[in-house]
Amino acid sequence: MSQLKVGDIVTGEVISTKPFGAFVKLGSGETGLIHISQISTKYVEKVEDELAVGVEVKAKVITIDPAGKISLSIKALSENAPQSRRGSDRRGSRKSPGDFEDMMKKWMKSSEERLSALAAKHKKNRS
């Protein structure tokens, strides 16, 4: 059983890279995965652009699932990591899924009205 816990800062060596992330052999002998989205605060197109086999990395343990799989993040160590605004309004407050559905309904209604108006105009111009 792992002695690691979520929030621990660990170091390890990259032992392989895949299109989705890098596997890291930790000092404890365990292996963790740094998902491509957790490598950097900037966009990473290819794991190999940022990490190479044999490189030592420092990362934060972000999850340990019931099966013992360890998820790591280099990005979480960045003190000035920008906060994700996905799913937030301009004030930074979280929107509920219902808000998105309401926005989509309004957009669909508006879109249908515009299409109807264009169709009517087109029909008028053809006669």
Tell me how far apart the alpha carbons of residues 70 and 30 are, in angstroms, rounded to a whole number.
8
Question: How do residues 14-36 score in pLDDT, each as one tens digit?
Answer: 999 999 999 999 988 999 999 99
One domain for residues 25 and 68? yes
How many domains, the chain? 2
Residue 42 in domain? yes
Q: Is the dihedral of CA 74, 44, 90, 87 positive or negative?
A: negative
Tell me how far apart the alpha carbons of residues 127 and 124 are, in angstroms, rounded to a whole number.
5
Q: Which residue has the higher pLDDT, 33 or 78?
A: 33
One domain for residues 16 and 71? yes
Question: How do residues 52-70 score in pLDDT, each as one tens digit?
Answer: 999 999 999 999 999 989 9
